[in-house]
Structure 1
Amino acid sequence: MDLHLLLDNLTNPALLFFFLGIIAVQLKSDLEIPPNSSKFISLYLLFAIGFKGGLELSHSQFSMEIVWSLLFGILLAISVPVIAYFILRRKFSVENSGAIAAAYGSVSAVTFVTAISFLELENISFGGHMVAVMALMEAPSIIIGVLLMAFFKKGNKKESNFGKVLHHSITNGSVLLIMGSLAIGFLANEHQAEGIKPFTTDIFKGFLAVFLLDMGITSGKKLTSFLNKGWFALVFSIGLPIINGCMVAWSSQFITESIGNRFLFAILAASASYIAVPAAMRIAAPRANPSLYVPMALALTFPFNITLGMPLYLFVIQLF
């Protein structure tokens, strides 16, 4: 692995703010980002990345590569939770296994945004259609997770309302915003779109740094209690992303030749959702333990991917 990539990533200001958040929790500091501000920054990041992706997509010539990329993303969103579920069932209940599997089949928009920042730092280009791939991967994994729980649950009583979960996964705020921003960016007049470029581009990394500070604070609060739950969840939270990320980093060469697109595919396969899936599982799996699947995705998988994972996946891509 090229060590300068790892060093560049570990010294990225946005990432260092993430570590600052964790340190603040360990020092029992009262540092915090107000909830309303945190929500606004989350919406801003989704809006900015969706809009920029739409602009890039409007400049791209439609090809079968885009179609295959969308299909490949959906395939990952379906296959990853199925594989994860049967691994998890060795230690966890049906409900917990289904919820965790859905989280790891789904994607993290923040990890995706951080990965794009990493590509820009390395001057590696990528296709705007990858934003659409990310958005399309959110709902299928939630649906698969619910289906797995319903199929393997003992007894005939169904505690989850599949219709509500399906509706929630499609109309979830994060999915709707990024898909809507993608469509607006695609349809926007190029000259008029330049007018909001300072908002969508120039201040993007600053907002990302503040958001990762907030994520560091949240992760730090959840990490200690999670580590008391045993080694299996810990190994799964790191092991599965490594396997998924490296496998897709290699196999994506059959979908696209673009290093940037292959890298984003690897990140999408390796990431886990800690926003949309937990919200859906409150409806679908009320017996699933959120103090298990949220820290796994947020306190372990997320920091691993944005520190060691990204240079690793890029190394595998460059190797093949």
Structure 2
Amino acid sequence: MDAILSMLAGNLLAPTILFFLLGLIAAVTRSDLSMPEGAAKIMSIYLLFAIGFKGGANLISNGLTWQTFATLGAGAALSFVIPFIAFFLLKLMTRLDDLNAAAVAGHYGSISIVTFVTATSLLELNGMEFEGYMVAVAAVMEVPAILSALWIAGSKGNATQSRKKLVRDIVGNGSIVLLVGSFIIGAITGKEGLQDLDPFIVVPFTGILCLFLLDMGLSAGRSILENRHYLTPGLFGFGCLMPLIAALLGFGMGSLVGLSDGGVFLLMVLAASASYIAVPAAMKIALPQAQSGIYLTMSLGVTFPFNIAIGIPLYLWIATL
């Protein structure tokens, strides 16, 4: 037990997690701490570029195997199934109507790329290896959850709007384009390309991630303050329980396809995270009547802080059992 607590405490004290907590505390205490306008966007572009490029370079170094395709399929299946479980729990634990429950559920099948990047950084700090193609799994898991949410909403009599625009926005989403594009370029250039960009995408990566998570902590704290009237005990409980259930599903899938401990951990993190970029944009188009204050507060204000502060260290411990 002492070893378990020591490991959890060590992971909680990682610089990335502590900077997020600093931003969260600063926001809740109404500090005037803030990041320069536009800085967060520049840092997010850098992080997506770096993680995508490194993933592609690592993939080509290790080669394509049956496990690669099995893991991609497992990720897509998790993304599609999780919203149905989330919808069932929401109807059981909260008083949300079908439309808002479907919109919230869709966020939990998709992924938070920032949570994923934080998890990969923690693995690197601990010297643990993981499959380089996991970044491709992250990209695959963006879309199926949106389809599930629309399926649920449609089955409950909530017609979607502008389907062509929705598909166009999903395919052209900047985060997905940059992540997938960087991954492909990394795969094309391989180890040589990674060596050329090493001083730019490897050395400063953790420092930039710390600053970005400081800003995310500020955003999450302010979202909680502004939308706290939405946070009923049932919703808050769901926001903490659903990631744990999804992480266990990710653990099962990762173990089934034979991933390394690091790979299992990353699949758990992807399954447990909730989108606050791609899915909210899709819901505004497809389910405009759904209340954005509810689903954004749940994904960014509750589940994101839970995963960063508690979930990630817990999932890493479970993955290494």
Same fold, judged at TM 0.5 (above): yes
Alignment deviations for residues 181-202 of structure 1 (CA, whole Å, 9 cap, x no partner): 0000000153344221111111
1:145 aligns with 2:146: no
Counterparts of 2:60 and 2:6, CA distance in 1: 34
Matches within 5 A, 1:13-92: 13-90=15-92, 91-92=95-96
Contact in 2 for aligned 1:94/1:153 (Cα 8 Å): no
1:181 aligns with 2:182: yes
Q: CA offset at residue 114 of structure 1?
A: 0.4
Matches within 5 A, 1:1-320: 2-90=4-92, 91-153=95-157, 158-188=159-189, 190-229=191-230, 230-319=232-321
Q: CA offset at residue 227 of structure 1?
A: 3.7
Counterparts of 2:164 and 2:153, CA distance in 1: 15
160-169 vs 112-121, which moves further: 160-169
Q: CA offset at residue 32 of structure 1?
A: 1.1
Counterparts of 2:313 and 2:24, CA distance in 1: 22
Runs of at least 5 residues in structure 2 that lack an aligned partner in the other structure: none
SS where residue 240 of structure 1 aligns? helix
Counterparts of 2:29 and 2:242, CA distance in 1: 31
54-63 vs 221-230, which moves further: 221-230
Alignment coverage as a number of residue pairs: 316
Counterparts of 1:225 and 1:257, CA distance in 2: 41
203-212 vs 216-225, which moves further: 216-225
Q: CA offset at residue 224 of structure 1?
A: 2.9
Specify whether residues 196 and 251 from structure 1 end up closer, same or farther in structure 2 by C-alpha distance, changes over 3 A only: closer
Specify whether residues 197 and 288 from structure 1 end up closer, same or farther in structure 2 by C-alpha distance, changes over 3 A only: same
Q: Scaled by the length of structure 2, what TM-score is found?
A: 0.94
Q: CA offset at residue 16 of structure 1?
A: 1.5
Contact in 2 for aligned 1:32/1:217 (Cα 8 Å): yes
Counterparts of 1:5 and 1:136, CA distance in 2: 31
Q: CA offset at residue 217 of structure 1?
A: 0.6
Counterparts of 1:128 and 1:16, CA distance in 2: 26
Alignment deviations for residues 175-230 of structure 1 (CA, whole Å, 9 cap, x no partner): 11100000000001533442211111111111101110111111111113444331
Letter of the 2:216 partner, please give it. Answer: M
SS where residue 206 of structure 2 aligns? helix
Q: Scaled by the length of structure 1, what TM-score is found?
A: 0.94
Aligned sequence identity (%): 41
Contact in 2 for aligned 1:250/1:316 (Cα 8 Å): no
* RMSD, aligned CA: 1.6
140-149 vs 86-95, which moves further: 86-95
Counterparts of 1:37 and 1:27, CA distance in 2: 22
Contact in 1 for aligned 2:48/2:175 (Cα 8 Å): yes
SS where residue 143 of structure 2 aligns? helix
Alignment deviations for residues 133-160 of structure 1 (CA, whole Å, 9 cap, x no partner): 0001001111221222122125xxx342
SS where residue 258 of structure 2 aligns? coil
Letter of the 1:278 partner, please give it. Answer: P
SS where residue 202 of structure 1 aligns? coil
